[in-house]
C-alpha cells in the first residue's frame, strides 16, 4: 500500500511498482482508494458536497466494499495487491476535515492491515506544484496546508496500531528511482 500527500507521486509510483511486480512474474492487482466502484465514485466526486463525518463514513464504506469485492479475493487467489491510498489517507484527510482521530480509527478498525504500508513524503512546495500541474478534482487538493507534515506525523500512530510502516522521502528522485527503491525494499522485507 502506497500513501502520501497530493502531488507526491503516489499514483505514478504505484503504477510503476505494480509493473515491477508483473515483470518479476507476479500476478498483480493495482488498485486505488476511493475505489472505482459506485461508493468510491460518490466519495471521490463528492468532496465538495460531503464533509466531516459524512465523508469519513462514505470513505470507510467504500473501503470495506473494496476489500470485500476486490482486495480479499485477489489476495486469496495469490495475487500481489498494490494500492494507491488506504487508511493513512483517512487519518490525514478526515482529520484535516475536523473528524476526531479516535473516530477515524474506530471507523477503520476492521479494515485489513496491509503487509506493508509505504508513506511517500516530500517537500511541501514540490507536492503543491505537482498537484496544481495535475489539476484539482477534490477540495482537499485546493489547499495542501498541513498534509505533508501530517503524513510524517501519522507514521508512529500507524506503527502503534500494528501497521508495518516505511516512510520514504522522495527528495529529488524520479518516480522510476522511487519505484526501484521501494520494489527492492518490499522484496527484501516481505520475501516475495
- Tens digits of per-residue pLDDT, 77-95? 999 999 999 999 999 999 9
77 belongs to a structural domain:
yes
192 occurs within a structural domain = no
Which has more confidence, 63 or 146?
A: 63
Long-range contacts of 70-77 (CB under 8 A, 24+ apart): 70/29, 70/31, 70/35, 71/29, 71/31, 71/112, 72/112, 74/29, 77/27
pLDDT tens digits, one per residue of 129-165: 766 776 655 646 556 667 888 898 999 999 999 999 9
> Which pLDDT score is estimated for 122?
85
The CATH number covering residue 117 comes to 3.40.50.300
pLDDT of residue 186: 93
pLDDT in tens, 11-43: 999 999 999 999 999 999 999 999 999 999 999
The whole domain housing 68 covers: 2-187
Predicted TM-score (pTM) of the model is 0.90
With respect to residue 79, please indicate whether it lies within any of the assigned structural domains: yes
- Is there a domain that residue 37 lies in? yes
Averaged pLDDT, 45-63: 94
How many domains does the chain fold into? 1
* Residue 170 falls inside a structural domain: yes
Whether 30 maps to a domain, the answer reads yes
Amino acid at each position: 500500500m502506497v500513501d502520501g500527500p497530493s502531488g507526491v507521486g503516489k499514483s505514478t509510483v504505484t503504477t510503476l511498482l505494480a509493473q515491477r511486480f508483473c515483470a518479476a512474474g507476479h500476478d498483480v492487482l493495482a488498485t486505488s482508494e476511493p475505489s472505482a466502484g459506485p461508493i468510491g465514485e460518490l466519495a471521490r466526486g463528492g468532496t465538495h458536497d460531503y464533509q466531516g463525518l459524512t465523508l469519513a463514513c462514505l470513505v470507510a464504506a467504500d473501503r470495506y466494499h473494496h476489500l470485500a469485492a476486490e482486495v480479499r479475493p485477489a489476495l486469496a487467489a495469490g495475487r500481489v495487491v498494490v494500492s494507491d491510498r488506504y487508511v493513512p489517507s483517512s487519518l490525514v484527510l478526515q482529520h484535516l476535515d475536523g473528524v476526531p482521530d479516535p473516530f477515524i480509527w474506530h471507523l477503520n478498525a476492521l479494515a485489513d492491515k496491509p503487509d506493508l504500508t509505504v508513506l511517500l513524503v516530500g517537500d511541501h512546495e514540490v507536492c503543491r506544484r505537482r498537484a496544481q500541474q495535475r489539476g484539482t478534482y477534490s477540495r482537499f487538493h485546493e489547499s495542501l496546508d498541513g498534509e505533508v507534515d501530517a503524513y510524517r506525523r501519522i507514521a508512529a500512530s500507524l506503527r502503534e496500531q500494528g501497521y508495518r510502516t516505511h516512510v520514504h522521502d522522495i527528495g529529488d528522485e524520479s518516480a522510476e528511482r522511487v519505484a526501484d527503491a521501494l520494489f527492492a525494499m518490499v522484496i527484501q522485507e516481505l520475501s516475495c
